[in-house]
Amino acid sequence: MSKVIRLQPALRWETGLAVVVILIVAIGSVASPDFLTGNNLFSLGLSNGEIAIMTLPMTLIIISGEIDLSVASILGMSSALLGFLWARGWPMPAIFVTLAVVGVLAGAINGLLVTRLRLPSLAVTIGTLALYRGVALILLGPNTVSDFPNAYTNLGVNAVPFTGNDMTYSTLIFIVLAIVFGVVLHATPFGRSIYAMGASAEAAQFSGIRVKRIKTILYMVSGFICALAGVLWTFRLNTAVQNNGLGLELSVVAIVLLAGVSIFGGKGSLIGVVLAVLAFAGIQNALLLTNFNQEATGIVTGALLLASVFLPNAGRLLRRLSHS
Amino acid sequence: MEVAGNEPPAQPEAAGAAPVLELRHAAKSFGAVRALIDGSVDLRAGEVHALLGENGAGKSTLVKILAGVHQPDSGTLKVNGADVTLPGPAAAKAAGIAVIYQEPTLFPDLTVAENMFVGRQPHRSASWIKGGRRIDRRAMLREAAAVFKRLGVPLDPARIARGLSIADQQVVEIGKALSLDARVIVMDEPTAALSAAEVERLFEVIRTLKSQGAAVLFISHRLEEVFAICQTVTVMRDGSHVLTSDLAGLTANDLVRAMVGRELAERPPHAAAVTTGEPVLIVERLTREGVFTDISLTVRSGEIVALAGLVGSGRSEVARAVFGIDRYDAGQVAVHGKQLKKASPTSAMAAGIGFVPEDRRQQGLVMDMSVQQNVALASLHDLEKGGLIRASAERAMASDWAARLKIKYGRLTDPVSMLSGGNQQKVVLAKWLGRKPSLLIVDEPTRGIDVGTKAEVHNLLAELAGSGVGILMISSELPEVLGVSDRILVMREGTLVAEFSHAVASEEAVMSAAMGQHDPVSEAVKHDERNDTQNGASR
Amino acid sequence: MRAAIVPSRQQQPERLRQSGLAERVFRIRESGILVVLVVFVAVTTGVQHRFLDVSNIQFVLVDTASFALLALGETMVVISRNVDLSVGSVVGLSAYLSASLFASHPGLPIPVVFLAGLGIGLACGIANGIMVAAGRVPSLVVTLATLYIIRGIDILVVGGNEVDANQLPNAFLDIPKDTVGGIPDIAIAVAVIIAAGAYYLRTYRSGRDLYAIGSNPDAARLAGLPVGRRVFTAFAVSGAIAGVAGVLWSAQYGTINSTAGTGYELQVVSAVVVGGVAIFGGSGSVTGAAIGALLLTTISSALYVLGISSFWDQAIWGLLLLVAIALDQTLTERLTSALRKRRTRHE
Amino acid sequence: MNLRRARKLALALPVIAAVGLAAACSSSTSSSSAPASTSAAASSAAASSAGASSTSSASTGASGSLKTGLKVFVIPKNLGNSYFTTADSAGSGGAIAALTTLGETGTETSGTAATPASQIPAIQAAVSKGANILLVSATDPTALCPTLKSAMSRGITVVTYDSDAPTCRNAFINQASTAQIGTSEVDVLAKELNDTGQIAIVSAAASATNQNAWIGYMKTELAKYPKMSLAGVVYGNDDPTTATQVTQGLLQQYPNLKGIISPTTVGIAAAAAVLDTAKYRGKIALTGLGTPDEMKKYVGDGTVKEFVLWNPANLGYLAAYAAVEIASGQITGATGQTFTAGKLGSYTIGANNTVLLGPPTVFDSTNVNNFNF
């Protein structure tokens, strides 16, 4: 029964999230006239682009009933490799190809360990979290590479032409990818299969859905996207260093859960995730603009995270309290 | 609703002593849903009392109330004449009520003994921390062993529970009940997942309990079992109790009428009339190490072939291998002469196989998904256009099949978990029929579903066969096997041991073939042990 | 978190059939890590004999102490099929607040400060426990949230301040350095606590309940076990332990600002998993977790002692973690099949 | 108990800021005369002491025509770092104190982690909030450049302090010449070891530019001591746990180790804690960059004899003055220009727009207790 009762509130969570976003924008623009300036939105998009992009594959993976904590390490590894190869005079195109391959490979390792060896994905990806970060450390060690050609680094910091200087490339990429992922997740057999296996892997398998294959694919996609995020990160900061993106994984997971995606899999929507990204970025920025610095960010994020699990279950909880 | 519904169980039938347990006019609602309107039942010492009713009649809710899992909104519960309330399972336990569920929920990582004594392990010294008692392992094992001796079952109390057959799991639960010296033992469809031999052994155990003065509430959809083991019966319908009486003098039809409030066709119609066509499925020398060996069988179009045998004889495993869930070590599977890829449900489905699995809730359905999505789940690629699922087509398909199979549902977008067992099973069938299969494998198609729907399912299978579909049916219910199928294959210990045509088949013949003419109990025990090892292999 | 991690039932490895063998496998699990540990120490010592130098052993033991302590609390939580990601933040908060007690009240008796730390941790643990147990929401989400919140509070409280060694009494700073017969006091203390914890989980009802709950939560409820209370207790204990670990942290490093204990959570979970505790609950042992912690610390130390650039540290950790869980899996499967053969021979 | 203290601390920051603002507003008019005189006095004092060449007329003239009411954002590498709290805050007489006396409004902001990714949003927010001046301690020499450049293109004055971003700022306030820090630490250690023995370096993050620059000079300086040798450089990542372990590793790896240099406050504190045992105290010399507060105990018990640091508060103070001078158009930051930094006296801008705070202070048991930061 409780399942049933939980459903509609779960849907309502997205609307709740929308309200939160609106509130943040309202508060933000009241607290600081600069909040809604193109310049501010631009920098907002700039500093959250990579995280935002990484939430997309994470969403699919969590809905499929698994988790990937190695995302930030793959970002770091890709960034380090980018610097490592550039320092050795590789041509950029060749480097990009290599990074794509490595990213997909890293994801494939996660996927195979989870699906073929049937290891719990939390443990596996904690392992690869250390492993991939370790590779980054081994590649660059103490060195920093920051002599990337402007042609590329500008992509990291300049605005997309014809967008009135308001949109960064990472934002553009996020929007495009969000649409793609949204359609795939909500409107294709592949996406439906992800929900099915998240809700019941066994039932999905008995319906002819290739659970293992799809999960492996999801991890590979995640690996690729994170490698891409690594490139964006490197060019935005014009710096390849081993600790790029250190610790981002928890933020990414937090955003996805904030979106009302069930950690048990099978539930959640991409609209929610986009809203959650906006909320997350908005909060940080609003707090900065109102001189709270980032100190309060953690508290607000955490509080919202709790809300995301408690509010949808409020009905159930109240009933249980009234019973006891 | 009948007037009788509101009357408490009539006293005259009382077999001697005052009831150990009296539940009167218990009601329970979940939100808008009135799961139980008037649940009343009396249980007496040394008496096995049957509780009958279609799915959704409120049996399980009543059981959960007795188990202390649910608290009734109204109604009274007396144990030994004293009013009691059961705020939780612990309270029920304390009141001497033990519940054995259809699929017992054990702790796979704990030993059998610990499973029996969890939360009340025998302890050495008095404790000094609250809830912290030092466990006396030896004493625990001793007591557990003693209980199994009493039940006359050879089960090692020191083994880990993971991998126990369902039958053994129930024995553990019963053992727990005994060690609690519970005086009321509620069994919620204990036989649903058991083979005939196991059922026989369970009945032995129940008789022992009875002779030791326990009051047993026995729930089952198999009337023959009810008549075999019970003395008194309570029938429920639509959440209310409609009949309480001694079984003596009642016929199966009386009970069925009380349950469904209508007459039923005597026996499932039989499709032998259809002339069977050319072979659809050909399985040759299929072997999976330690699970089944050298299985060769053929299913022709329009033919219903039953695969009979004890649970654990490898029937479901063969089906799983044919459909590609499990891989096999030797042999081959061909549909319409085209050989299938190993371990690939996709290729099986492409070849036109549909598979209604044994475990509806775990394997058949995605319980969180809507009726519509479940129906569509196996046909997503037929519903897609330019890579996208066409919502309209999906809805059309679902409502069409819902109508054809007379599925009772609120909205197609309701989660399938809201449906009754019978309707859920229909959804699973719809899922596969939607693919127009040329071969349909059904594993225990009517397990745990009510008499009414059961008949509908049987008719449906007959129709399908009539329309030329080949059907391979696995069933533990002999009447079903004999009634529905044209040919009956019997498996034992992973091999095919006998084949009967519909004409010559008889319950006795099939059963003895299935058990290899041995005395049931020892046979059952042996196959249980082997069954465990098979679970190992099939993982 | 369960579903996020647990392979569907039919995927889970067949576990063993007889407790004798169960015991054996748990021992095998632990001894497995022990073997790795021994080999590692042997090899390292072969290259650099001073690795077994008394002072280094002392260093490793001290560094392991608080780590292993945290692993104890985490193990209790993980066994009950939950996870506590907030330990790192709790360590940080407790470290600063307890240390600042000395700063504000010079001459405060040390035990009082430990109690204070324990109290702070307990408070956090209770918060987690209530939300997970009463709210029945996934602990992964709850403790991920409290990880942020508690760290946030820490940062707000500490601001730019810090407590320095000279504000702390020497007796306090010496805690990690005092030894009995060459063995650091805190190592002994922690060993005792862990032994107690192991004994408790093995032989006390409430301890076994945790295993039962982790093994099958629904069954635990049906069996009338006080699931909520036990899970709550596990979190409370984990929190309290983290609080104490925080005090040890400040004793060991002397300089405490708002970054203390950052990122501990994943390290502790790694140690627990390497120690053979099933991440989806029900099986594993405190001893194993403690050895896991010791192994991880030893590896880092070995790298530094060997002068291998510490850049390899992470990678080796990761590999080890993967190998550990993979081995655990195959080991149990192997054992089961061996078992099966044995049974068939019996008939 | 501790909770009440906690609340106090939580309140502290906003209160300080508020007070600062109030002071700024009230004194905005009167400040022009009052600080001028004090600064003049200070400068003449400085002139006599430091022997810096500056005419008091120039200084008064300059400070007299400084713009007031400028929005200044002080952006350290990260928040919650006591070194920067000292350098920036009003209480310690750092940057914001200077800004207040000059009648500007100073705000400290930054990320919580010392990485560009966490610092950049703070810089961008400052720009969004219409900053006139950014005082930045760069977490990375290049990563911040695009952001800082775009700020400068909006006419915002960018001055870096403590850690430079060479190609994208108007001026850099250097705490002490890289060479000086590198060499002085080696000399201090050499003195303690009377020029003989094997030493090692415990650095911060392997990628920290100023660290690596200092280490470079240390190596060249070591060449002057033939009997001294550098065993190796290890990285504590400015994380106490790691710093402790790498130090422990050094002790095992080099049993004959005689001395350790740690040019980072976190590193030297952790190393000191490790060496603070009978076994090593006095037997292995330790020096480097440390804050007096963190080192007091170890200087007291003889684990550390001498260590080096500049006064962070003065660094911030100087940076603030230089920035306001530039923003007021008094100077452009070009090499050779001079300006007066209040109580610190007069400074001359050196090569590539760098102002040098002065020689680092060497702390030992005699003076360490006179400092509180």
Model confidence pLDDT, tens digit, residues A110-131: 999 999 988 999 889 989 999 9
pLDDT of residue D239: 84
Q: 3-state DSSP call for residue B232?
A: strand
Instruction: Indicate the domain borders of chain D.
Output: 2-176+311-358, 178-309
Q: Are B383 and B376 in contact (CB under 8 A)?
A: yes
Note whether B89 contacts C200, CB cutoff 8 Å.
no
pLDDT of residue B1: 36
The yes-or-no verdict on residue D16 having pLDDT over 50 is no
Note whether D79 contacts C160, CB cutoff 8 Å.
yes
Read off the pLDDT of each residue in A87-113 and give the average, rounded to a whole number: 97
Q: Specify the range with the lowest mean pLDDT, choosing from B106-110, B367-371, C286-290, D195-199.
A: B106-110
Asked if the C-beta of C142 comes within 8 angstroms of chain A's C-beta atoms, the answer is yes
Render pLDDT for C274-286 as a digit per residue (tens, 0 to 9). Answer: 888 888 888 889 9
- The two tokens of residue C269 are 């979970």
Picking from A5, A187, A200, the nearest residue to B366 by CB comes out as A200
Read off the pLDDT of each residue in C298-322 and give the average, rounded to a whole number: 83
pLDDT band at A105 (very low <50, low <70, confident <90, very high): very high
A chain contacts of residue C280, beta-carbon cutoff 8 Å: 120
- Contacting chains of C (3 CB pairs or more, <8 Å) are A, B, D
Q: Do chains D and A touch (3 or more CB pairs under 8 A)?
A: yes
Task: State the average pLDDT for chain C.
Answer: 84
pLDDT band at B55 (very low <50, low <70, confident <90, very high): low
- The CATH classification number of C2-339 equals 1.10.3470
Render pLDDT for A262-283 as a digit per residue (tens, 0 to 9). Answer: 998 999 999 999 999 999 888 8
Render pLDDT for A193-210 as a digit per residue (tens, 0 to 9). Answer: 999 999 999 999 999 999
Picking from A189, A203, A323, the nearest residue to B366 by CB comes out as A203
Mutate: best of A62, A131, A205, partner C, most C CBs <10 A = A131
CA-nearest residue of chain D to A47?
D121
Q: Identify the residue with better confidence: B194 or C103.
A: C103
pLDDT of residue A315: 66
> In degrees, to the nearest 5, what angle opens at C-alpha A228 toward C-alphas A226 and A231?
115
Task: State the average pLDDT for chain B.
Answer: 83
Read off the pLDDT of each residue in B69-82 and give the average, rounded to a whole number: 91
Q: Which domain holds residue A127?
A: 2-315
D178-309 belongs to which homologous superfamily? Response regulator (3.40.50.2300)
Q: Identify the residue with better confidence: B509 or A104.
A: A104
Q: Identify the residue with better confidence: B181 or A124.
A: A124
Q: Which long-range contacts (CB under 8 A, 24 or more apart) does C40-43 make?
A: C40/C295, C40/C298, C40/C299, C40/C302, C41/C298, C41/C302
A chain contacts of residue B418, beta-carbon cutoff 8 Å: 4
Q: Given this chain, do its domains D2-176+311-358 and D178-309 carry the same CATH topology?
A: yes
With respect to residue A22, please indicate whether it lies within any of the assigned structural domains: yes
Render pLDDT for C105-115 as a digit per residue (tens, 0 to 9). Answer: 988 999 999 99
Nearest-Cα distance to chain D for C65, in Å, is 13
pLDDT of residue B532: 41
Note whether D127 contacts A43, CB cutoff 8 Å.
yes
Note whether C340 contacts B134, CB cutoff 8 Å.
no
The yes-or-no verdict on residue A23 having pLDDT over 80 is yes
From the number of C-beta atoms within 10 Å of its C-beta (0-12, 13-18, 19+), residue D44 rates as middle
Picking from C1, C156, C329, the nearest residue to A122 by CB comes out as C1
Q: Are C188 and C175 in contact (CB under 8 A)?
A: no
Q: Which D residues, 132 through 171, put their C-beta within 8 Å of a C-beta on chain A?
A: 140-143, 145-147, 150
Picking from B368, B383, B418, the nearest residue to A199 by CB comes out as B368
pLDDT of residue C332: 65
pLDDT of residue A189: 95
Asked if the C-beta of D41 comes within 8 angstroms of chain A's C-beta atoms, the answer is no
pLDDT of residue B201: 82
The yes-or-no verdict on residue C26 having pLDDT over 60 is no
Asked if the C-beta of B96 comes within 8 angstroms of chain C's C-beta atoms, the answer is no
pLDDT of residue A320: 64
The yes-or-no verdict on residue D137 having pLDDT over 50 is yes
Does the CA dihedral A39-A44-A47-A48 come out positive or negative? negative
Asked if the C-beta of C179 comes within 8 angstroms of chain D's C-beta atoms, the answer is no
Q: Specify the range with the lowest mean pLDDT, choosing from A73-77, A102-106, C74-78, D276-280.
A: D276-280
Note whether D207 contacts A243, CB cutoff 8 Å.
yes
pLDDT of residue A293: 59
Read off the pLDDT of each residue in D45-73 and give the average, rounded to a whole number: 54
Instruction: Indicate the domain borders of chain C.
Output: 2-339
CA distance A9 to A313: 7
C chain contacts of residue A200, beta-carbon cutoff 8 Å: 8
pLDDT band at B516 (very low <50, low <70, confident <90, very high): low
- Write out the H or E segment, with its range, that includes residue C93: helix C87-104
D chain contacts of residue A285, beta-carbon cutoff 8 Å: 121, 125
The yes-or-no verdict on residue B288 having pLDDT over 80 is yes
pLDDT of residue D14: 41
Top-confidence range, A230-234, B149-153, B481-485 = A230-234
- The two tokens of residue B479 are 């009447």
User: How far does CA C204 lie from the centroid of its chain?
Assistant: 20
Q: What total of structural domains would you count in chain A?
A: 1
Note whether B362 contacts A200, CB cutoff 8 Å.
yes
Read off the pLDDT of each residue in D135-161 and give the average, rounded to a whole number: 91
Q: Which A residues, 265 through 304, put their C-beta within 8 Å of a C-beta on chain C?
A: 265, 295-299, 301-303
pLDDT band at A150 (very low <50, low <70, confident <90, very high): confident
With respect to residue A322, please indicate whether it lies within any of the assigned structural domains: no
CA distance A11 to D317: 55
pLDDT band at B93 (very low <50, low <70, confident <90, very high): confident
A chain contacts of residue B414, beta-carbon cutoff 8 Å: 4
Q: Which amino acid appears at position B42 of this protein?
A: D
Note whether D270 contacts C116, CB cutoff 8 Å.
no
The yes-or-no verdict on residue B91 having pLDDT over 90 is no
Note whether D116 contacts A32, CB cutoff 8 Å.
no
Render pLDDT for D175-216 as a digit per residue (tens, 0 to 9). Answer: 888 888 899 999 999 999 999 999 999 998 777 778 888 999
Q: Do chains B and D touch (3 or more CB pairs under 8 A)?
A: no
Interface C-D: count of C-beta contacts within 8 A: 142
Look up the pTM and report it.
0.82
pLDDT band at A95 (very low <50, low <70, confident <90, very high): very high
Q: Give the other-Cβ count within 10 Å of D33's Cβ.
A: 11
ipTM higher than the 0.95 cut: no
- The two tokens of residue A253 are 């997971």
CA-nearest residue of chain C to D231?
C307
Top-confidence range, A189-203, B113-127, B475-489 = A189-203
The yes-or-no verdict on residue A11 having pLDDT over 70 is no
Asked if the C-beta of D115 comes within 8 angstroms of chain A's C-beta atoms, the answer is yes
Q: 3-state DSSP call for residue B491?
A: strand
CA distance D63 to D325: 8
The yes-or-no verdict on residue B334 having pLDDT over 80 is yes
- The single-letter DSSP state of residue A261 is -
Q: Identify the residue with better confidence: B403 or B521.
A: B403
CA-nearest residue of chain C to B94?
C224
pLDDT band at C25 (very low <50, low <70, confident <90, very high): low
D2-176+311-358 belongs to which homologous superfamily? Response regulator (3.40.50.2300)
Q: Identify the residue with better confidence: B318 or B174.
A: B318
The yes-or-no verdict on residue D44 having pLDDT over 80 is no
CATH of the domain at A223: 1.10.3470
- Contacting chains of A (3 CB pairs or more, <8 Å) are B, C, D
The yes-or-no verdict on residue C8 having pLDDT over 90 is no
Q: Name all domains of chain B by residue range, CATH numbers in brackets.
A: 3-105+182-260 (3.40.50.300), 107-123+134-163 (no CATH), 271-352+437-538 (3.40.50.300), 367-435 (no CATH)
Q: Identify the residue with better confidence: B121 or B295.
A: B295
Note whether D273 contacts C162, CB cutoff 8 Å.
no
- Contacting chains of B (3 CB pairs or more, <8 Å) are A, C
Q: 3-state DSSP call for residue B340?
A: coil
- Nearest alpha carbon to residue C203 among B159, B172, B121: B121
pLDDT of residue D11: 40
Asked if the C-beta of B67 comes within 8 angstroms of chain C's C-beta atoms, the answer is yes
C chain contacts of residue B69, beta-carbon cutoff 8 Å: 222
Picking from C10, C219, C343, the nearest residue to B105 by CB comes out as C219
The yes-or-no verdict on residue D27 having pLDDT over 60 is no
Asked if the C-beta of A118 comes within 8 angstroms of chain C's C-beta atoms, the answer is yes
- The two tokens of residue D137 are 């301690």
Top-confidence range, A188-202, B226-240, B450-464, D138-152 = A188-202
Note whether D142 contacts A146, CB cutoff 8 Å.
yes
Picking from A4, A189, A210, the nearest residue to B380 by CB comes out as A189
Q: Which C residues, 101 through 130, put their C-beta within 8 Å of a C-beta on chain B?
A: none
| CB proximity list for C296: less than 8 A, separation 6 or greater | C67, C267, C270, C271, C274, C317, C320
Picking from D2, D248, D297, the nearest residue to C100 by CB comes out as D2
Read off the pLDDT of each residue in C289-305 and give the average, rounded to a whole number: 90
Q: Are B527 and B310 in contact (CB under 8 A)?
A: yes
**What are D71's strand-pairing partners?**
D105
